Amino acid sequence: DAKTTQPNSMESNEEEPVHLPCNHSTISGTDYIHWYRQLPSQGPEYVIHGLTSNVNNRMASLAIAEDRKSSTLILHRATLRDAAVYYCILREKGNQFYFGTGTSLTVIP
C-alpha cells in the first residue's frame, strides 16, 4: 500500500507560487516527512523535511497539518528550473525512505 498519495501532475505559471499537496494518513508519531525532487535522467535532490512544525529553507517551505496526516510543499516563485517530479516521502525506521509516485510539475513560461 502506498504510504503517501500525491496528484500525478500539476501546472504552474512562472514566477507564481506553487502548492504541492501530499496525504499520509497512516503516518506514525516518529515518521519524518521529506520532500525530494528529480529532474529528468538525474538522481533525486533533497528539498526539505519536517516532523511537526512548519519549516522554511532557501528552496521551499513545508506546511504540515496539525494532525500530520497531510503536508504541502510550497515553492514561493516557480521558475523553469523547478520543473521536475516532486516526491513526498515518509522516513520510517531510521534509514528507510518510502517514495510515492510523485507529482510531475510543469512550469509554464
Partner 1 sequence: NAGVTQTPKFQVLKTGQSMTLQCAQDMNHNSMYWYRQDPGMGLRLIYYSASEGTTDKGEVPNGYNVSRLNKREFSLRLESAAPSQTSVYFCASSPTGVNEQFFGPGTRLTVL
- Residue numbers of the site for partner 1 (CB under 8 A)? 32, 34, 36, 41-46, 49, 87, 91, 94-102
The nearer residue to partner 1, 7 or 17, going by C-beta atoms, is 7
| Nearest approach, Cβ of residue 82 and partner 1 (Å) | 18
| Nearest approach, Cβ of residue 95 and partner 1 (Å) | 5
| Angle, CA of 34, 15 and 62, to the nearest 5° | 20
CB-count exposure of residue 58 (10 Å: 0-12, 13-18, 19+): exposed
| Nearest approach, Cβ of residue 108 and partner 1 (Å) | 22
Q: Cα(30)–Cα(20) distance, rounded to whole angstroms?
A: 23
The nearer residue to partner 1, 24 or 34, going by C-beta atoms, is 34
